[in-house]
Amino acid sequence: MTGVRRTTWDALRACRRPLGRLAAWSVAESLPALLSGLIVARAVDRGFLAGEFGTGLAWLAGLAVAVLVGAVATGRVYRSLGAVVEPYRDELAARVVDGALREATRAGGRPDSAAVARLTQQVEVVRDTFGGLLLVVRGFLFTAGAALLGLLALSPPLAAAVAAPLVLGLTVFAAALPSMVAHQRAQVAAGEELGRSAAAALTGHRDVTACGGQERVVAAVDRRVVAQADAERTLARMAALRSLSLGLGGWLPVVVLLLAAPWLVGRGLSTGAVLGALVYVTTGLQPALHALVQGVGGGGLRYAVTLDRILRSCPPTDPSAAAGRTAATSGGGTAGSATAGGATADGGVVPAVRVRGLTFRYGPHARPVLADFTLTVADGEHLAVVGPSGAGKSTLAALIAGLVPPDSGSVHLADTPVAAVAPETLARLRVLVPQEAYVRSGTLADNLRYLRPDADQATVAAAVDALGAGPLVERLGGLAAEVEPGRLSAGERQLIAAVRAYLAPAPLVILDEATCHLDPTLEATVEEAFARRPGSLVVIAHRISSAIRARRVLVFDDDRPLAGSHEELLRRSPTYRELVGHWQELTIPAHRPLTRT
């Protein structure tokens, strides 16, 4: 729980000024707790017992004024509390979002569906319990402190008689807290295990029935039910310790005062003083202690356990990991040749992509999709990747883009190792456009500027014209028009994503069948625009025309990836000749552009 303590302390330290206001209003709020016993003692001794009824009422009127002041201060306390709690809640929400995005965008990461629960339920639990803890701890410190000061002013022996059992009750409660936290954590974990087990059983109930595994599955779920019930019972038993603390610290002082009252009165203590001491205990110390024990023992445990889960799931960004990383940009110079099998860029120019000894499989015992694969794509190169379905073309694109980690080998973009850079740095090196294009709700301009928010109107218009997207922009109502993704066709979404990638500052563009829903003419326009764009281009080819347009083609020829021009591969690769023949057989008459049906 070190992280919980440190995070809580940092949150409090960051709100020193609001906490100061909260403490100031808490002093005013505790005024009735400070004066109640003294005023009751004076009202009894100098008023009612002395036969001065008006004097007694005057003292009680003073108490009423103190209560009104405390009520006004209570309203201010809640206002000051929000200034402490809400920034803490915002910080936790930002941490959860940051952690979810880093997990989803890191190499080998995947979207975390549990982040939604952390962002909604768990963050709100922490927010509410944090505010509750502040209230009860602050209330106990100021109210109990005020009551003890009043007792001390009333009679030091009375203050000592009350303080001793109060300290004893607090000691018992503090000693039991670590065990309470452990049992609360066990109860939460048992509930989660039961939920997972029950969900798995319900999801696969037909398979379970078909395989005759009902008894085994029911037994497994039953074990989780029993474990959760045991955890709940243990947690309920821990409530007895809270009751013991309340009994020692809250009720034992009352018993002590009642038993000691004759002895104290016999030694000169007034009846009003004894009654005032009972008022301090029953209206000040006892309610404050009850709120503290119930608040810390209930909400405090939920706060510690829930915050601990958030901190473990969303560790803070390590600034040292990103220190020294600089975004690599494409250099000038003549483009060399892209080869498979270990070739490097000509003239010593830093290549756009350098893959060495890459091996990747989708399971520990699966056949490698890529085995000891080596590839160099020179700066400014236009490479098309072709091969049979399932040969590993999209896998190669994902590996180059850093979306999945290889089993072995390395990928460098502009001499920067993909595995060692942060997602934000990787985004400055490459942009990947997948087959299923993403378009979000908002204006068309916002969608196009998604990767380059600072692009001006002229730059966006030039990109739209270069990729032949003008008719689409006009049909949608201009760049300021609101876009509804569900109403766009797959080809329209691809064209919007293509313009977005064209505007991106990344020097490397990877098109993973990103134009498959465009007609052949528009596809040619898009690819030729990217070929003219400064930087390098890798196209996972959807049509033979994409391979013909590329300066270099990489074909997955069984287990021997080969690279060369279209003409070279027609001579050297039987697989490439077969693919070309297959594509041509599927095309419409030769005078029309080549396409697939």
Could you tell me which residue, 108 or 5, shows the higher pLDDT? 5
Q: Are 375 and 340 in contact (CB under 8 A)?
A: yes
Q: Are 306 and 125 in contact (CB under 8 A)?
A: yes
Lowest mean pLDDT among 12-26, 140-154, 235-249, 482-496: 235-249
Q: Are 143 and 284 in contact (CB under 8 A)?
A: yes
Spatial CA neighbour of 569 closest among 555, 551, 588, 583: 555
- Collapsed DSSP state (helix, strand, coil) of residue 345: coil
The distance from CA 447 to its chain's CA centroid, rounded to whole angstroms, is: 24
Q: Are 434 and 395 in contact (CB under 8 A)?
A: no
Token pair for 440: 């979000």
**What is the rounded end-to-end Cα distance, in angstroms, of the chain?**
61
pLDDT digits (tens, 9 = 90+) for 412-434: 998 889 888 888 888 889 999 98
CA atoms within 13 A on the CB side of 55: 12
Angle at 371 between CA 368 and CA 377, to 5 degrees: 125
Strand partners, 430: 508
* High-pLDDT (> 90) share of the chain, %: 18
pLDDT digits (tens, 9 = 90+) for 334-359: 222 334 333 333 445 688 999 998 88
Residue 174 has pLDDT above 50, yes or no: yes
- What span, in angstroms and rounded, lies between the C-alpha atoms of 345 and 505? 23
Q: In a 10 Å sphere around its CB, with 0-12 CB exposed, 13-18 middle and 19+ buried, how is residue 273 labelled?
A: buried
Q: Are 509 and 535 in contact (CB under 8 A)?
A: yes
Helices (H), 319-456: 319-322, 393-401, 423-429, 444-448
Query: Residues near 438 by Cβ (< 8 Å), separated by ≥ 6?
Result: 493, 497
pLDDT digits (tens, 9 = 90+) for 272-319: 888 888 888 888 888 888 888 877 777 777 787 778 777 776 666 544
pLDDT digits (tens, 9 = 90+) for 195-209: 777 777 776 666 667
Q: What are phi and psi of 412, to 5 degrees?
A: -120, 135
Token pair for 192: 């989660």
- Give the global pTM: 0.48
Cα–Cα distances in angstroms (integers) from residue 395 to residues 326, 362, 375, 402, 540, in the given order: 27, 10, 14, 11, 10
Q: Average pLDDT of 182-192?
A: 75
Token pair for 303: 């706060």
Determine the residue type at 511: L
Cα torsion 76, 79, 85, 87: sign? negative
* pLDDT of the residue at 356: 92
Q: What are phi and psi of 506, to 5 degrees?
A: -65, 135
- What span, in angstroms and rounded, lies between the C-alpha atoms of 451 and 146? 59
Q: How confident is the model at residue 492 (pLDDT cuts 50, 70, 90)?
A: very high
- What span, in angstroms and rounded, lies between the C-alpha atoms of 496 and 491? 9
Could you tell me which residue, 82 or 338, shows the higher pLDDT? 82
* pLDDT of the residue at 314: 67
- Token pair 């009860």 is found at 136
- What span, in angstroms and rounded, lies between the C-alpha atoms of 48 and 52? 6
- What span, in angstroms and rounded, lies between the C-alpha atoms of 166 and 164? 5
* pLDDT of the residue at 438: 84
Strongest mean pLDDT among 341-350, 435-444, 462-471, 569-578:
462-471
Residue 43 has pLDDT above 50, yes or no: yes
Token pair for 428: 């400055």
- Token pair 């590839």 is found at 375
- What span, in angstroms and rounded, lies between the C-alpha atoms of 282 and 251? 9
Q: Average pLDDT of 236-261?
A: 80
Strand partners, 562: 555
Task: Transcribe 129-176 into DSSP letters.
Answer: HHHHHHHHHHHHHHHHHHHHHHHHHH-HHHHHHHHHHHHHHHHHHHHH
Q: Are strands 382-386 and 408-413 parallel, antiparallel or unpaired?
A: unpaired
pLDDT digits (tens, 9 = 90+) for 87-127: 888 887 787 777 666 665 554 444 554 445 445 677 788 88
Token pair for 328: 């690599």
Residue 366 has pLDDT above 70, yes or no: yes
Determine the residue type at 433: V
* pLDDT of the residue at 329: 28
Q: In a 10 Å sphere around its CB, with 0-12 CB exposed, 13-18 middle and 19+ buried, how is residue 506 labelled?
A: buried
Helices (H), 423-519: 423-429, 444-448, 457-466, 470-476, 490-503
- Token pair 């490439």 is found at 576
* pLDDT of the residue at 205: 67
- Burial code (b: 16+ CB inside 10 Å, e: under 16) for 17-30 equals ebbebbeebbebbb
Average pLDDT, the chain: 80
- Collapsed DSSP state (helix, strand, coil) of residue 344: coil
Query: Residues near 327 by Cβ (< 8 Å), separated by ≥ 6?
Result: 425, 428, 429
pLDDT digits (tens, 9 = 90+) for 540-593: 987 778 888 888 999 887 667 888 888 888 888 888 888 787 665 544 333 333
* pLDDT of the residue at 413: 92
* pLDDT of the residue at 207: 64
Lowest mean pLDDT among 224-233, 303-312, 380-389, 527-536: 303-312
Q: Average pLDDT of 484-509?
A: 91
The distance from CA 509 to its chain's CA centroid, rounded to whole angstroms, is: 29
- What crossing angle do the helices spanning 214-246 and 286-294 adopt, rounded to 10°? 160
Spatial CA neighbour of 491 closest among 432, 431, 549, 435: 435
Q: What are phi and psi of 383, to 5 degrees?
A: -115, 130
